[in-house]
Amino acid sequence: MIFLSMDKILVAIDFTEVSKAVLARAKKLVLAFDARLCIIHVEPDGDVYAREEDNLEFHLETSHKIDAVRKEFNEANIFPYFKEASGLPAKCILNECERFKPDVLILGAYRYSKLIRIWSDNLREEMIAKAPCSVLLVHPDDEV
């Protein structure tokens, strides 16, 4: 008989549509395995917007989204650790893998334009190749 254990789960989100499916899958796994959860959100390096007031508005919006995710999980008696990082997404996620030592990393699998798909495919391939744990890809239309 084989028993599967998942003590720690790391989830990378970017607040696109697929993040909803990723978070729903994470919630199910945390509840099923009584696992600890870390949620990482990475802002790419550089100014998102040229004007400082637009950049501030973007960061406030992101903060509100993180608060909403925290509230949703807390209502399910799940109290995740949130990590906000800035830099290259792959590097930041791999650094958090080294620090948190998850049993599984959950990422979104995107269905976008060809250019965005190439970028996200490269990120997923790098995570699959370099992550020190199992990697679960979740599609936006996956049933949870």
Which amino acid is located at 111 in the chain? R
pLDDT tens across 50-64, in order?
555 566 777 788 899
Residue 29 falls inside a structural domain: yes
Residue 78 falls inside a structural domain: yes
Q: What is the pLDDT of residue 2?
A: 63
pLDDT tens across 82-106, in order?
999 988 888 999 999 999 999 999 9
Separation CA 67–CA 141 (nearest Å) = 24
CATH code of the domain containing 67: 3.40.50.620
pTM confidence score: 0.84
Expressed as residue numbers, the domain containing 110 is 8-138
Q: How many domains does one find in the chain?
A: 1
